[in-house]
Amino acid sequence: QVQLVESGGGLVQAGGSLRLSCAASGRTSISYAMGWFRQAPGKEREFVATISWRGGSRYYADSVKGRFTISRDNAKNTVVYLQMNSLKPEDTALYYCTTGPSAASRRENDFTSWGQGTQVTVSS
């Protein structure tokens, strides 16, 4: 089992930037993909971005492509980042970090471990 802890959320004006981080602990010796999903109030949780174990493959939702960048550092403890630029009010959501067997999947049920989430609020 992998434990995930997110950080970096906050309140930002439209057009601003935030960088989310997610630290993994536990069975980090196992290679796995990591990613970010988000859930806005009254909406279902949705895919944002994923990255493969070595970082060679990255996938993005159309709504964030060109504005968000996912990266990871496996040097010591695995950490995954989400750099969010040109933020919009519609990016407001609770952002969850997750792990799974394949970065190519966008299905929530394919991902096995989840963090508690970090809130991102973008004001207009």
**Token reading at 105:** 């999947």
Pick from 29, 43, 113: which is nearest to 74 by CA? Answer: 29
- 79 alpha carbon, distance to own chain's centre: 11
Contacts of 55 (CB under 8 A, 6+ apart): 71, 72
Distance from C-alpha of 74 to C-alpha of 1, rounded to nearest angstrom? 17
Return the ∠ at Cα 50 (arms to 34 and 89), rounded to 5°.
115
**Is the pLDDT confidence value at 29 over 70?**
no
**Is the pLDDT confidence value at 122 over 70?**
yes
**Is the pLDDT confidence value at 120 over 80?**
yes
Return the ∠ at Cα 38 (arms to 32 and 39), rounded to 5°.
140
Mean pLDDT of 9-26: 96
Distance from C-alpha of 35 to C-alpha of 114, rounded to nearest angstrom? 10
